[in-house]
Amino acid sequence: MARDPRYDVLFESVSIGPKTARNRFFQTAHCAGPGSERPGAQAAFRGMKAEGGWAVVFTEYCSIHPESDEYPYISARIWDEGDVRNLGHLCDVAHRHRSLAGVQLWYSGGHAPCLESRETGRSPSQFQSNMFATRTVYGQQMDEDDIKAVIDLYVEAGRRAAQAGFDLLEVSAGDDTVPIQFLEPRYNRRTDKYGGSLANRARAARSPRASRWTPCTVPRGSKRTRMDSSCSSSFARRVCSISWRSRSATTRSGARTPARRDSASPAG
Ligand SMILES: Cc1cc2nc3c(=O)[nH]c(=O)nc-3n(C[C@H](O)[C@H](O)[C@H](O)COP(=O)(O)O)c2cc1C
């Protein structure tokens, strides 16, 4: 059956920063269960979409640090070199099918139960999370050094994402993550320069330090903000030497060896 020409645009390539998507079919971030710990399933699932024609395939929300651990819910994680290798399978398979691979960086601060990592998330203010009816979850209020440190966690996670081979980087600023916690008065009760007026509540996200979260160029005239743009980034070019807090086995050859549980085969 001939294609209605009205839909031809969907099959045209489009530039996203320095990257080119071969068509307009863009699989946004969504959870499906594999996370980073089942790299075979993760790569096979996203890879099946890439093979079927999707130009962009994303991970699910991807925790940037053990402070943002939602276990027993399964997110992707990009905490360390093991995660880099595991998520690298997704990237390799997507690229094999000429698709771009994207990752959604996620830090939910005081909403993260951290039942596995036992860490404490940081939020604009201390509050009891309203996200979990069956357990009590608290975060810790950030001081100014914490704000800088959490921004740096995003940057470091972005570098690991580049090392894994991701082409596109998205910062989750919805779903009650820390960027939206700053903006929302119900979570941001600060009385310093990061609280109160909208300008103050947006200050952390608008700081030069935070501009490194999404170091792509948002097109001139774009209504999108840096915070919510999904964009290709040039951060891969900025990757510098990273000292890993490695908790997984490493290979000196640089070969990607799955590091975790179901990792025997990237096809599994
Ligand atoms: C099962 C499921 C999991 C999802 N996981 C995420 C996620 O991890 N991150 C995110 O930003 N959105 C997530 N979403 C939202 C989707 O990516 C998408 O934005 C939403 O389904 C609306 O898309 P649509 O208008 O094409 O239906 C999820 C949606 C579903 C149904």
DSSP secondary structure letters along 6-43: GGGGGGS-EEETTEEESSS-EE-----S-TTT-HHHHH
Alpha carbon of 147 to those of 9, 69, 126, 178: distances in Å? Answer: 42, 18, 14, 10
pLDDT of residue 211: 66
Taking CA atoms only, the protein residue closest to ligand 1 atom 19 is 28
Q: Tell me, in angstroms, the distance from the centre of ligand 1 to residue 197's CA.
A: 31
Taking CA atoms only, the protein residue closest to ligand 1 atom 23 is 28
pLDDT of residue 158: 93
pLDDT of residue 207: 80
Prediction pTM value: 0.81
Please list the rounded mean pLDDT of every run of 10 residues in the chain (268 residues): 94 94 96 95 98 98 96 94 97 98 96 93 93 85 95 93 95 91 95 96 83 45 31 28 26 41 38
pLDDT of residue 138: 87
pLDDT of residue 136: 86
pLDDT of residue 106: 96
30 Cβ inside 6 Å of ligand 1: yes
pLDDT of residue 1: 84
pLDDT of residue 213: 52
Rounded Cα gap, residues 150 and 9, in angstroms:
40
58 Cβ inside 6 Å of ligand 1: no
Taking CA atoms only, the protein residue closest to ligand 1 atom 21 is 30
Q: Tell me, in angstroms, the distance from the centre of ligand 1 to residue 31's CA.
A: 7
Architecture per CATH, domain 25-109+147-175+208-238, reads as: Alpha-Beta Barrel (3.20)
Domain ranges of the chain: 25-109+147-175+208-238
Rounded Cα gap, residues 78 and 222, in angstroms:
29
